[in-house]
Amino acid sequence: MTTRLLGALHQTEDLPHAVRAQGVDLSRHELLGRAAGVAREIAGRRMVAVEATPTLDTMVVVAGALLAGVPVVPIPPDAGELERAHILGDSGAELIDAGPGAVSNDVPDEPDGAAPALVLYTSGTTGAPKGVVISRAALAADLDALAEVWQWTPEDTLVHGLPLFHVHGLVLGVLGPLRIGSRLVHTGRPTPQAYAAAPGTMYFGVPTVWSRVCAAPSEARELSKARLLVSGSAPLPAPVFEDLRALTGQAPVERYGMTETLITVSARADGERRAGHVGLPVPGVETRVVDDAGQAVPPGAEIGHLQVRGATLFDGYLGHGRPERDGWFETGDVATIGADGWHRIVGRASTDLIKTGGYRVGAGEVEDALLLHPAVREAAVVGTPHPDLGEQITAYVVAEGATERELIDFVAAGLSVHKRPRVVHLVDGLPRNAMGKVQKAALR
């Protein structure tokens, strides 16, 4: 791949419809000209921030900042006053207007790959959001790895409607096409109707998106013309995986990553796809699972703490270094790695590894078992304090026509008895964030 981070923008051959958003098209050269205008305006600044609306303007500003070598901080457009003030105050970034600006033919030389490119703020589930500093080299390494495992080429058209302030929507969904050279159609919102109306070869979505696509069979069948449906940002429930396969004729590709590591594990475009599993490490990335004492767990053994190292890792938290040991970054997730190298993500160590009566139980396994019940539409499992067991398995379930006792017995029949929920709460819905992840702290 090219040494330029946004290599496709510099190609001499223009692409008339390189990027489309809100029904407006920009050619490759038009996008480069507008981005170069932004680069000239902000040159020399320490860091800039942009309100990351799902628009062409946001894409232009981010591209312009990357051309100028100025780190850019995307701010969620729905951020509350306190969150916005924290991000701007913590980063010291200057908020710039994302409206139409001047066009320039003067394209600056790109800086060294070690230079910071993005500062993405975490969701703040364990305190105030932290700024994750990601280098240009890490972005390039990850996008090139994904181009290989997904067979992503300039001939592709990527369609998605994801937010532009996360790795999924911004790094993969915008910078990917601008590096690889594929076309991009951003649908504004990731609705089944919008996806079906936008012909493409690749579609990106989070589990909530794919669940809604499956609930709209006629729209789902339109996606059968694509070659790749990619799911990420949260575990894809097995029933949704199977519904997608039935409706589109292909199983989705699942992948795993986080803000601090980018995308590190994925199923392959030309390989097997397994429900509940996220595949193998991408090129340039190593993974391992360790026990509570930090000792490596052999492949095929029990669940443990997932660690990652490689070229895609972040530089550190803004104002701090990168916590690691011998180059290994502790993801905070628990996982299993099979004897064949396939990864299954159990969940967050803080919420999804339940220690009950001397057993270690992954919440995700119990959730998958609950979702196999025909009445269950959503399920979230957590550990709650118990005077005898230490923690008890507690489930929050959206279901119609099922009782608590019926669901407990259903899990006990499919899994080991000690993995059954002791308590099942029947609820109307589960709290989720913008990327579709269940907010388990709110359940507690």
Q: What was the pLDDT predicted at 1? A: 45
β-pairing, 131-135 vs 183-186, is unpaired
CB under 8 Å to 360, separation ≥6 — which residues?
Answer: 302, 303, 353, 354
Per CATH, domain 7-256 is 3.30.930.10:
no
Say how far apart CA 67 and CA 26 lie, in whole Å. 18
CATH 3.30.300.30 boundaries in the chain: 357-443
- Write out pLDDT tens, residues 51-93: 999 999 999 999 999 999 999 999 988 887 878 898 999 999 9
Q: What is the DSSP letter of 12?
A: S
CATH 3.40.50.12780 boundaries in the chain: 7-256
Q: Are 86 and 54 in contact (CB under 8 A)?
A: no
**167-206 exposure pattern, b = at least 16 Cβ within 10 A, e = fewer:** bbbbbbbbbbbbbbbbbbbbbeebbbebbbebebbbbbbb
Q: What was the pLDDT predicted at 379? A: 93
Number of residues written out for the chain: 444
Q: Strands across the sheet with 329-337, in order?
A: 285-290, 304-310, 329-337, 343-348
Architecture of domain 357-443: 2-Layer Sandwich (3.30)
Q: What was the pLDDT predicted at 415? A: 85
Q: What was the pLDDT predicted at 319? A: 86
Residue 283: count of CB within 10 angstroms of its CB: 16
Q: Are 91 and 119 in contact (CB under 8 A)?
A: yes
CB under 8 Å to 121, separation ≥6 — which residues?
Answer: 73, 87, 129, 130, 131, 132
Say how far apart CA 323 and CA 329 lie, in whole Å. 7
- Write out pLDDT tens, residues 31-56: 999 999 999 999 999 999 999 999 99
CB under 8 Å to 211, separation ≥6 — which residues?
Answer: 237, 240
- Write out pLDDT tens, residues 380-408: 999 998 887 888 999 999 999 999 999 99
Residues of the chain with pLDDT below 70 are: 1-3, 123-127, 434-435
pTM of the prediction?
Answer: 0.84
CB under 8 Å to 443, separation ≥6 — which residues?
Answer: 380, 382, 396, 430, 431
Task: Output the 3-class SS for 311-368.
Answer: CCCCCEECCCCCCCECCEEEEEEEEEECCCCCEEEEEEHHHHEEEECCEEEEHHHHHH
Query: CA-CA distances (angstroms) from residue 160 to 54, 346, 444?
Result: 11, 26, 33
The token duo for 57 is 């303007």
